[in-house]
Amino acid sequence: MKKINALLIMVAVLGIGTAVAKPVHAALTTNSSESTTATSDSSSSDSTEAVQTKALTSPYVVYGAGLASEDKDQIKETLGVSSNYKSLTATGSDYAKYINSAGTTDASMISSVALAPADPGTGVKVNIEKFNGQDNITEVTSQQYAMVATMAGVNDVIITVTANKSVSGESALTGVYEALAADGISLDNQNTQAANGVLDATQSAIDQNSSDDKYPGKLMGAVGNVSSELAEDHQKNGDYATNEEIKQMLEDELDKQGIKSDTSVTVINNIVVALANVQKAPVSNTKSYVKNASKVADEISNSVGDKMADLSDFANSEDAKKAEGFLANIWNSIVSFFQNLFN
């Protein structure tokens, strides 16, 4: 009778195992430039995509080429990396490909990133983790990473960032794009470079308001809402908004967020130019971007601090269940359970 009951339990557990996914973590890689303190959603060409249209099939960890080998194990632990993660390295040439054609050296690629699939509709959420108790990403915020990644075409992923030494963090998205490419999702370079322009344009405002922990979320929320509206208007009317029109839209959004007076005219003008570039990038021709950007913007408007995601945000999707090693891990756990039961 004990064996019969155990077998019945095993059947039930197997049924649950096909419906519930084990949470997974993920990681990003920063690099050299870090200072050390169409209406279709299909691909824009044969090899690149305007937006990410499918979930990741595996979690990834991307190490910076400049990471000291003696710190790698600690980076893995900090990012929550397990054996089913696919490991990559972000190099200076990767930075040139995705961020700035001027490139950088491998030694300058310092930060590391983990990237994990999230449930459909999650959008992009970012956690910045301390390394040995030190917050080594000194400038770029989780809210900036989340909105800029969305503008590049990233969707439904959870990103975790850390570094083994103090870096500004502006290059961390290199590892995200590298992981997506390895998974068969190569984003259009015009998107990634335009998105990085937004990161650059917003950084001085974040720095100038560093004493206000609500400011990054409010600023990036305003920027995201404007970008979503610009994309929607272009898809409906076929015209691009002028810089004057973009500036008025941005000022209205900043006013709604209560931070217009805290944002300098110079910063506003720089953000306007960056938004104009995103407006003309392939990502703004996709219907899903309008929704994705608006959703992430709304979420980050009220986001404070380095942690945007918790365990409930990690993927339970069908694509996530196909992640390499995932089903094997479930089966091994079940076998171990019943071996202990019968012994």
CA atoms of 199 and 197, how far apart (whole Å): 5
Decide if 21 contacts 28 (C-beta within 8 A). Answer: no
CA atoms of 10 and 13, how far apart (whole Å): 5
pLDDT computed for residue 290 by the predictor: 96
Q: What is the pLDDT of residues 180-223, one digit of tens each?
A: 999 998 889 999 999 999 999 999 999 999 999 999 999 999 99
Please enumerate in sequence order all residues whose Cβ is within 8 A of that of 266, keeping only pairs 6 or more positions apart, or say none.
204
Three-state SS across 58-109?
A: CCEEEEECCCCHHHHHHHHHHHCCCCCCEEEEECHHHHHHHCCCCCCCHHHC
Quote the tokens at residue 309.
């995601």
Fill in the amino acid letter for 242: T
Query: In the chain, how long is the greatest CA-to-CA distance?
Result: 78
Q: What is the pLDDT of residues 52-87, one digit of tens each?
A: 756 788 999 999 999 999 999 999 999 999 999 999
CA atoms of 323 and 179, how far apart (whole Å): 14
Residue 11 clears pLDDT 90, i.e. is over it:
no
Q: Quick one: DSSP state of residue 184?
A: T
Residue 312 clears pLDDT 50, i.e. is over it:
yes
For tokens 């499918």, the residue is: 54
- pLDDT band, very low/low/confident/very high, at 322 (cuts 50, 70, 90): very low
For tokens 């169409």, the residue is: 38
CA atoms of 272 and 51, how far apart (whole Å): 22
DSSP 194-221: HHHHHHHHHHHHHHHTTT-TTHHHHHHH
Residue 317 clears pLDDT 70, i.e. is over it:
no
Residue 299 clears pLDDT 60, i.e. is over it:
yes
Interhelix angle for 265-279 vs 215-237, to 10°?
A: 40
For all residues of the chain together, what is the average pLDDT?
81
- pLDDT band, very low/low/confident/very high, at 313 (cuts 50, 70, 90): low
Q: Which of 274, 265, 246 is nearest to 152 (CA)?
A: 274
- Percent of the chain clearing pLDDT 90 (strictly above): 63
Q: Which residue has the higher pLDDT, 332 or 136?
A: 136
For the segment 253-267, the average pLDDT, to the nearest whole number, is: 97
pLDDT computed for residue 261 by the predictor: 97
Q: What is the pLDDT of residues 79-111, one digit of tens each?
A: 999 999 999 999 999 998 888 878 889 999 999
Q: What is the pTM of this model?
A: 0.78
For the segment 310-333, the average pLDDT, to the nearest whole number, is: 47
pLDDT computed for residue 15 by the predictor: 41
Enclosing H/E stretch for 275: helix 265-279
Q: What is the pLDDT of residues 34-46, one digit of tens each?
A: 544 433 343 333 3
Please enumerate in sequence order all residues whose Cβ is within 8 A of that of 341, keeping only pairs 6 or more positions apart, or say none.
6
pLDDT computed for residue 336 by the predictor: 52
Bridge partner residues of 162 (DSSP): 112
For the segment 220-247, the average pLDDT, to the nearest whole number, is: 97
Q: Which residue has the higher pLDDT, 112 or 19?
A: 112
| The pairing of beta strand 157-162 with beta strand 112-117 | antiparallel
Decide if 290 contacts 235 (C-beta within 8 A). Answer: yes
Q: What is the pLDDT of residues 264-287, one digit of tens each?
A: 999 999 999 999 999 999 999 999
Please enumerate in sequence order all residues whose Cβ is within 8 A of that of 130, keeping only pairs 6 or more positions apart, or say none.
78, 136, 162
pLDDT computed for residue 4 by the predictor: 44
Q: Which of 12, 48, 49, 80 is nearest to 337 (CA)?
A: 12
